[in-house]
Amino acid sequence: MAIVFRGEHMKAIPRLYFATAALFALIGMAWGIHMSATTDHTLAPAHGHLNLIGFVMMAVFGAYYALAPKAAASRLALIHYGLSVLTVIVLVPGIVFAINAEGEIMAKAGSVLAVLTILVFLATVLRNRAD
């Protein structure tokens, strides 16, 4: 039996996703401006992943939860949010380390987390079909 949250929590999940997406977008923009100013685009793959996973993916998840209040009301939505943020926090620096030849373990771990994040999203969508 799923634990269901009611009221304000249902609105909090989409807000968390959108606010976090905006924060990651701002960091990505500042990073892009820095790369442009220094003409050093070595870390562009990490920057791209920050924008894609941190901004686009988080915004898509937020939109889904805003449109699916039943899904937003589940404990899984909060777990999914935490996993999504953890993915960005591990993957993006991991790509930086890999590019700088400082090891690939974080990039590999972040990649696995990204797959898990999408699997949780798939499970959420499948179990919260519209009736």
Percentages helix, strand, coil for the chain, rounded to the nearest 5? 80, 0, 15
- The answer to whether the Cα torsion of 98, 102, 108, 113 is positive or negative is negative
Q: What is the pLDDT of residue 131?
A: 46
Q: What is the pLDDT of residue 128?
A: 87
Q: What is the pLDDT of residue 3?
A: 42
Residue listed under structure tokens 């998840």: 61
CA angle 56, 64, 9 (to 5 degrees): 110
| List of the chain residues with pLDDT < 70 | 1-10, 130-131
- CA separation for the pair 9, 14 (Å, rounded): 9
Q: What is the pLDDT of residue 8?
A: 54
Q: What is the pLDDT of residue 46?
A: 96
- The answer to whether the Cα torsion of 119, 121, 126, 128 is positive or negative is positive
Q: What is the pLDDT of residue 71?
A: 94
SS3 string of 50-113?
Answer: HHHHHHHHHHHHHHHHHHCHHHHCEHHHHHHHHHHHHHHHHHHHHHHHHHCCCCCHHHHHHHHH
Q: What is the pLDDT of residue 59?
A: 98
Q: What is the pLDDT of residue 10?
A: 56
